[in-house]
Chain A
Amino acid sequence: MRKLGKTSRSDSDQNGPDGSDLGSSSVGVNKNHDSSLKHVMGTANYVDDIAEPRGMLFVATGLSTQAHARIVSLDLDPVKTSKGVVDVIVHDDIPGDPDVSPVYTGDLLLAKDLVSYVGQPLFAVAATTQRLAQQAARKAVVEYEQLEAILTSEAALKQSSFVLPTRTFVMGDADAQMKAAPNKLEGEQMVRGQEHFYLEGQVALVVPLEDGGVHVHASSQHPSEVQKLVASVLGVNLNQVQTEVRRMGGGFGGKESQAAIPGCMAAIFAIRNNRAVKYRMPRHDDMVQTGKRHDFWNRYRCGFDADGRLLGVDMELAGLCGFSADLSEGIVDRAMFHADNAYYLNTARIVGYRCKTNTVSNTAFRGFGGPKGMMAVEAMMEDVALSLGKDPLDVRKANLYAQGRDETPYGQKVEQHILSELIDQLETSADYRARRASIVAFNKAANENASQLLKGISLTPVKFGISFTSTHLNQAGALMHVYTDGSIQINHGGTEMGQGLHTKIAQIVAQTLGIDYSRITVTATRTDKVPNTSPTAASSGTDMNGMAAQDAATQIRDRLTVFIADHFKTEKTNISFANDCINVAGEPHGFADMVQLAYMNRVQLSATGFYKTPEIHFDKQAGKGHPFYYFACGAAVSEVLVDRTTGEYKVTQVDILHDVGDSLNPAIDIGQIEGGFVQGMGWLTTEELLWDDTGRLISNSPANYKIPTAYDVPEKFNVQLFAAQNYKPTIYRSKAVGEPPLMLAISVWCALRDACAASANYKIAPKLNSPATFEQVYWAIDDLQDQLKQKQS
């Protein structure tokens, strides 16, 4: 098997990552994103760019201003008579099922008589322009009767207000171990959620069809769910609805369940008016009306030995789910699955609460709860190190999963132990020890001279479980057509949201058939081409759809092989596919010629492929099983410079070593790592979701919700791929890369915490909530100074 080793994005297209000529090899090379030319030309079409059918209507919704209230009256006359308005609908106008929940129930497309969060849609209006629709939607007169609202996880816990039952993982007797442990500590942290801020907002364009069905152009990670929910709100069968997704302008989980809403709304109007209808949420509406990453309130206790090795751990993770379940079952589960991150806990009890609050229903976001669990255990690592006066890296290393210390709190054994080697390699390449020593000296001098600047550094690992934790979702399909000119269309169940999935699929097909990459076009995802698909989520897009595409390509290759062997009267073993040719007993024949020949001889040139992930199972009740096919790993070192007089800081250097198995496309994988890291950094630093005390989101626009800009990214930002193939037989031994890198950014948060701790000579654990805004860092340091003074007096 190839070992790719270090790779970079600047290598040219045709060469292998090490500069070698890979001949006709299509995987492992830095192919450009398949839409990159269209991206830079401005010709890549997103839903809003599709030529608008004549007479199309535009939708806007009227939003609740109350967090929890009964609707006493709803006067829509001013809306109906507003300029340009063609149609207005309320809950009772929904022809089919008004509930658009992805898994459980409780997500109504339009509120009935009760509103459950500020921003919940009460009615929808269709008008001749987007602007007129928005203007009309503002004119409704609503009378509410206010009800008591629960707005925080603490309040929900107190009142046992949950969207779904609490779950617990138990491994051994953690209480007994903690009791007997020589050292103990406890802590808590508030980890705020995150707005997806996909650059392209939620949107759908629906065209009515002749038989009561609709064609939906969606910006969705889950076309099959859009299809299912549109059919269900219309009260028609699934076979009446087609969803088509060419590309999204970003998804990040925010278009997994949420993207069905615009489709459903537009579909109802499309059928009622027999006109094409577009619903594009303006940024403000998108920010207040659709779900985000969950806030988590984490509490932890642990007992540990003199080396910092954990003996017993007790964790309570409370996810703020909002008013309904949405995908919160799996999200809180995944927080629990990752509360160990890369560490063997020895004994543990991990409790996951799903708090029900009168806020928007939170949803999937890159990492799907995983980051929240990891934050708890990483804070614990820092605390343990501080309490023992150790380098946190030594504590982390002492706790890594290893041979014999390999059982997770949910019963799955960690089989591949690469983190120890990976961390050693990064520690050296990033010169971690020397830098830490100089930082400690720098901070010591800063404290002695009362100078303003402090530094912090941290190395944190990531071990992320790959597979959907709902076992049935781990299936994928593909449909491949070879045309008589030798050009190929491949269609699969995955969606393209920028992650380069289509590019990798084309590479896989090209590799499987030994043909030129340029023969292949990956077409828009459509539910009428590949049915019953799973969301493109859980980082599984390439793992699953790549296998399905390869299955289809392999069938075609096998059919051609059989035909050619027969036609040329030779053994099948004499036929090979390489260099864009089919070699028959050593003699190359052009691929297109062979395809034409096969066609003339009535060989079927179309195939469907299928894949299901093996080995996985999980018993939700027992909290035990084997939910993940494998783990993707990585580690990052971040360094920060902090001004203690203001809390302002700059991330000055980041070094990452990440495991993507054998990379299918190093350029794309590195892009995912960099992008995921910066998105995670935003989550933990500047992106602050805030509500006022009436439950209204006040960080409701990019003017007051700040995602990172180019300036925030350190100039020294080194990303390397770890050279190791997947130990599982995944597609070309690659590993999933979508989500795991986001959590590498926890190193930034830990580095900031490290700098705060430095202000008190590494003696006291700082209280640093997340996001660690400048203000939060300022108060964390301020609090430590107060504690120091108290100790001294």
Chain B
Amino acid sequence: MIVEINQKAMQIDGEPTETVLEFLRRHGLKGTKEGCASGDCGACTVMVADRATGLGRQSDPFKTFNACIAPIGQFAGESIVTVEGLAQGDKLHPAQQSMMDCHGSQCGFCTPGFVMSLAALVENGATDFATDDDSVREQVQLGISGNLCRCTGYKPIVEAGQAALAAAHDSWLYVDASVSKHQSEGVTDVESDVESEVESQVKNEAANQGVYLPESLKEMNAFIMQFPTARLIAGGTDLMLEVTQLYRDIDQMISVNKVAELTELTIEMHEGKEICRIGAAVTYQDIELALGQRSPALVDLLHRLGSTQIRNRGTLGGNFGNGSPIADMPPVFMVLDGVLNIGSSSGAKRASSIEDFYLDYRQTSLAADEYIVSVEFPVQALTDFHRFYKNSKRIEDDISSVLGAFRFEGCPDQISKAAIAFGGMAAMPVKLKEVEAKLEGATLDDELMSQAVQLLSMAMQPMTDVRASAAYRLRMAQTMLERALREFRGEHLPQVTEVRHA
């Protein structure tokens, strides 16, 4: 297996769970740092050149991600750029130059990660979408949302980002959509024509490294049959924490993110309804790209789901697949009338409602040979009134204490159909049928609202944990319901935590 690092081919030669970060550092590329090994700090940020998008509009050619929780085996045939690959001779990348000019580093440990995030913004032409200074600032903040700095207080870093984006730059890095033509040099490189080798070696040698990269459902089914104990991996932003935090070994992983059928996002007419089908391996970034126009509320929520680095890798399949009660997407798709399409290595297929999918705390109805193929929902749902509210200790890059999702049909004084779901309020995501029933068909007045809010408190027994107390969670769920209802009635309720609209 070969991966291209800064335009040089390198042999993937470690354990299956070896992370990109460990791989880089083991091979002497120590500019990329470990600050946490859990995807939270961004010191390990690197980027991958994206060559397969298939989503109509080209998505960002360079995607930042957390090297600390990404197994190198998943990057066979890919091209990764690290901080060592930015400068051209003596000439610094604009992101590097402006970080220096703006005094953006103090201890410097976070700096390579920030430089990578800013460089990605520059390379991706983030300013193309920015209309004014404020939106440039927002782009920069979003770009570095997964980077922590303990020294600077961020101000000079944000300024550096603005400065780097202000000047018009030609694309600095190569953006060849296929594995670029290059010479391989240096100690760790393989001295051969990489292009042909990537093709032929990926499949065979990947197997030897314990990371399997099927490209179709058929291939994936075969791998699952062959390695029944193998773990599925998509973005790895959840699974890899078992490896880096609990030190568990995983001998075999089947990567879903090259499987054609799982990486598609389609919107098609079906029985007279527009149905959106989101492949399980579609990343949040691509979901935003495809659906952002239709739902600003979804964009706002996605911008608070992890960080840019996480959203470049994390998938819907992983968000459901880990069975977490605090995952952000299940309540959202519950209220959008979403359905999970489930496949099996036997070739069998079934559909499941999201409620039926969850059995208990971190338990799903997936059988050992099953996996999520896609989530589908009627696009019409996004034209209804809908709101997604997230409460967390920190606004950016934090796990929800409470997530409330709401969709109402009807007119301001009467809801004809209500869909209400919460995350963080029970052992699994919950849909509040009683509250929905209470609201449907009745006159939506203050009295009904307060009854619904009361009823909600009876329907749920949240927990106290490090993120919030049970009492606060309950109050927040109530507040969210009330806010959604009042907004449905036409009130505008400003939010201090309104995250930027890109």
Contacts and interface: CB of A to CB of B under 8 A. Distances in A.
Interface in B296-348: none
Contact of B108 (A251, A252, A498, A641): A498
Q: Is the interface of B mostly helix, strand, loop or mixed?
A: loop
Interface in A691-747: 698-699, 701-704, 706-713, 715, 717
A632 interface: no
Interface in A13-67: 30, 32-33, 35-46, 48-49, 51
Given A200-B33, A698-B465, A699-B466, A709 B148 contact: yes
Interface stretch (B155-163, B286-294, B418-426): B155-163
Given A679-B150, A698-B465, A778-B475, A497 B107 contact: yes
Nearest to A688: B393
Contacts of B249: 135
A569 to B, nearest CB: 46
A39 B397 contact: no
A36 B100 CA distance: 6
Interface stretch (A183-191, A508-516, A570-578, A644-652): A644-652
Interface string B94-108: 011101101111111
Contacts of A32: 100, 103
Given A643-B495, A677-B153, A702-B36, A711 B108 contact: no
Interface in A607-661: 641-643, 645-646, 648-650
A668 interface: yes
Interface string A647-685: 011100000000000000001100100111111000000
Interface centre among A32, A199, A643, A699 (most CB of B within 10 A): A199
A715 B497 CA distance: 14
Nearest to B18: A131
A717 B106 CA distance: 19
B20 interface: no
A249 B100 CA distance: 17
Most buried by B among A10, A197, A698, A706: A706
Residue of A708, A712, A773 ringed by the most chain B CB atoms within 10 A: A708
A40 B115 contact: yes
Q: Which interface residue of A676, A704, A710 has the most chain B CB atoms within 10 A?
A: A710
A10 B496 CA distance: 31
A247 interface: yes
Nearest to A666: B103
A693 to B, nearest CB: 11
A131 B483 CA distance: 48
Given A674-B155, A774-B391, A249 B30 contact: no
B218 interface: no
A709 B304 CA distance: 12
B468 interface: yes
Given A40-B92, A199-B33, A671-B156, A773 B106 contact: no
Interface string B120-140: 000000000000000001001
Contacts of A715: 137
A701 B38 contact: yes
Interface residues of A, number: 86
Interface string A490-521: 00000001111000000000000000000000
A713 B157 CA distance: 11
A33 B396 contact: no
Interface string B20-41: 0000000010111111111011
A418 interface: no
B38 A283 contact: yes
Given A200-B107, A453-B494, A773-B393, A646 B153 contact: no
Nearest to B93: A40
A668 B106 CA distance: 8
B148 A650 contact: no
B154 A709 contact: yes
B472 interface: yes
Contact of A498 (B107, B156, B499): B107
A567 interface: no
Nearest to A741: B153
Interface stretch (B81-89, B220-228, B361-369): B81-89
Given A711-B141, A778-B475, A701 B156 contact: no
Contacts of A296: none
B86 to A, nearest CB: 8
A9 interface: yes
B107 A36 contact: no
A775 interface: yes
B466 A704 contact: yes
A717 B157 CA distance: 13
B149 interface: yes
A649 B149 CA distance: 21
Interface string B387-418: 00001011111110000000000000000000
B469 interface: yes
B323 to A, nearest CB: 17
Nearest to B248: A135
Interface of A: 9-10, 30, 32-33, 35-46, 48-49, 51, 131, 134-135, 138, 196-201, 247-252, 282-284, 452-453, 497-500, 641-643, 645-646, 648-650, 667-668, 671, 674-679, 686, 688, 690, 698-699, 701-704, 706-713, 715, 717, 773-775, 778-779
Given A198-B109, A711-B141, A775-B468, 19 more contacts: A36-B100, A42-B82, A48-B33, A51-B28, A249-B107, A249-B110, A250-B107, A250-B151, A674-B153, A678-B152, A688-B393, A702-B40, A704-B466, A704-B467, A706-B394, A708-B154, A709-B144, A709-B394, A710-B157
The 5 A-B residue pairs whose C-beta atoms are closest, nearest first, are A42-B31, A498-B107, A249-B109, A678-B153, A39-B108
